[in-house]
Structure formats: C-alpha cells, structure tokens
Amino acid sequence: FFFFFFRQEAGAWTLPRAKTPRLAPGPKNRAAMSGGHLSKDFFELIKSIGECKSKQEEDKILAAEVATLRQRFTEQLSPKKMKEAVVRMMYAEMLGHNADFGHIHAVNMSQQTNLIAKRVGYLASTVCLHSGHELTTLLVNTMRRDLKSTNHVEVCATLVAIPKLVNLETLPALMDPVCALLDHPSEVVRKKAVMALHRFCQLQPSSAADLSEKLRRVLCDKDPAVMGASLYILHEGAEADPKAHKDLVPSYVSILKQITEHRLPSSFDYHRMPAPWIQIKLLKLMATLGTADQRASEGMYEV
C-alpha cells in the first residue's frame, strides 16, 4: 500500500516514493456490481425507456410505473422486493416523475442492518430528498450511529449522504462524529469525511476557524487523495482570511514540487500529467496567498 506522509528535514517536507496498489474485486463484489439482485422486469423497464422515440412515450411508461409503485408500496413486500421498489422509485424520480409516496420507505431502508439495503436507502434518500426536507431529521440518529460503525463501507455510505442532506439544524449533531473520522484507518473514509466537512464549512463558515488545526493535520495525511481533498477547504479559508494561511506557503510549494517530480502514484496521472487537478488547486491557493505579498511570492519562485 502507498503511504503518503511528510517528513520535516532541513526545513522541507519530503515524500517517499512508492508503488500504486492494485486491488481486484472479489466474487461477491462482482456479483453485486452485475445487478443480479434486480429482477428481469426492472431491466425490461430500463430497456423500454431507452428505446422510446419521444418524451411523450417515455412519460407514458413512467406514469404507469409510478402508479404501479404507488400500489406496490401499500403491500407487504419482502426485503428484496422492497429494495427493488425503492430503486424503481428513485429511477422514476431521476427522470422527472414525482414519487414522494416512496420517500419514507427510502428513509426506513437506510435504518436497516443489512448493508446493501442500507446503501440503497441512503442513495435513494440522497437522490430524492433535499436538505430542507422534513424527512431528513429522521435520518440524523441513524447517521450518527452509522458513522461509528466498524464497517467502513457503512461509514462511507453515510458520508456520501451527509453533504446532500445536512442543514444548519442537523449540522451540530453530525460535526463531532465526522471530525472523529479524520483519524480513521481507511483512507477512503478520511477523504469522504473531509468532503463532508467542506460542506459543513459552506453551510456555516464560522466553523472553519474551529477546524483549522484539524485541516492542517489532514494536509499532511499519508494518502494523497485525502491531502488533495483538504485543499478545497483550505482554499476557501485562504480566500476568506489570507493572513491566517500565509505560513502554509512552504508546504504548498513542497507538495507541488513533489507532484511535478512524479512522486505520487501513477494512478494520479492524467495523460502522463501528474495529478493535474491537485496542481491546479495548489496554484490557485498560491495565487491567493501571493497576491500583494512580496515575501510570500518569493517563497513560490522555485516552482
């Protein structure tokens, strides 16, 4: 595995070279990705919509599907059929048809212990609900519990839903559990936690000051993807208060220099260009911090 960490030597941050890991999906993962848990009828629905010659024809098929779903949700469905009904409801809403009668079932599914059902519930809630929706308050306790789960997949499903569903009322209840995940052993969880905190800072800019020290530690995360995610919050913080971020210029310069020297894994390359999106964000950061500041600008000359 690739370990991304900084070492302070002679006043500079250094990054060791490493190879990119390649993980192949197991049989269970391949089965889940194949969609074998969904019925043939559902695939026929998708096929018929894809073959529609006009929007009117599509609307007719989806109107019939919504009517069927409305009836189906009143029945006693097995867990498998309920999961498919929620997926179909989500599909109808994505194509512009109102199926709000099924929203509560998506919320209920996110509270189940079955991992696949929980992920479907969170996904449907994210697609169909918004931060101001009355049902989002029913998810807060579930999210707090799932953020403490020992299963990182369950934690990730929650972190994906939080940026879409969080609001000023629910933010205080989720702030501490999300911050605690910055020290999670899984780099995927740490990255998604940073992304959730980014949304928190957008909703409540005053919280950025309280997160300053935590975000500085994240900048030195051993995984480059986590470090890259932190740049977006730090950039917004630098735009709001450049003086508080001036001391990070040497770190940004060092990171950019290491990227241009191809010190990151090849998985971050795009057409042989090393981590172009991280480079762009670093350049924007330095442009913000170097504006009308000769000393900071001189520190950037080497890159």
165-216 per-position pLDDT tens digit: 999 999 999 999 999 999 999 999 999 999 999 999 999 998 988 899 999 9
Predicted model pTM? 0.83
pLDDT of residue 208: 86
Report the phi/psi class of residue 35: left, alpha or beta, with left for phi > 0 and alpha for psi in -120 to 50.
left
pLDDT of residue 278: 96
d(C-alpha 156, C-alpha 115), whole Å: 11
* Residues lower than pLDDT 50 in the chain: 1-25, 27-34
d(C-alpha 289, C-alpha 297), whole Å: 8
pLDDT of residue 16: 44
State the angle between helix axes of 224-240 and 187-203 in degrees (0 to 180), rounded to the nearest 10. Answer: 20
d(C-alpha 83, C-alpha 107), whole Å: 12
pLDDT of residue 203: 95
